[in-house]
Amino acid sequence: MNVLAIPFPDSAVALAANQLVLEVSPPFLYYHCVRSYIFAHLLGSRERLHYDQELLYLGALLHDLGLTERFDDIHPFEIAGANAARTFLLQQELPAEKAEVVHRAIALHLSVEARQQRPEIALVHFGAIMDARGYRLEDVPGEVLHQILETYPRLGFKQAFAEAMMAEARKKPTSAVAMAIRNGALDGLLQAPFPD
Query: pLDDT, tens digit, for every residue of 121-165?
Result: 999 999 999 999 999 999 999 999 999 999 999 999 999 999 999
pLDDT single digits (tens) 165-195: 999 999 999 999 999 999 998 999 999 999 8
**75 C-beta neighbours (distance < 10 Å), count:** 17
- Please state the pTM of the whole predicted model: 0.96
Report the chain's mean pLDDT, rounded to a whole number.
95
pLDDT single digits (tens) 62-92: 999 999 999 999 999 999 999 999 999 999 9
Interhelix angle 53-62/96-107, rounded to 10 degrees, is 50
Residue 79 φ/ψ, nearest 5 degrees: -80, -45
Pairwise pLDDT comparison (110 vs 1), residue with the higher score: 110
Distance separating alpha carbons of residues 126 and 134, to the nearest angstrom: 10
pLDDT single digits (tens) 14-33: 999 999 999 999 999 999 99
Q: Do the beta carbons of residue 81 and residue 164 sit within 8 Å?
A: no
Q: Do the beta carbons of residue 123 and residue 40 sit within 8 Å?
A: yes
| All domains in the chain, ordered by first residue | 3-154 (1.10.3210)
Q: Confidence class of residue 5 from pLDDT cuts 50, 70 and 90?
A: confident
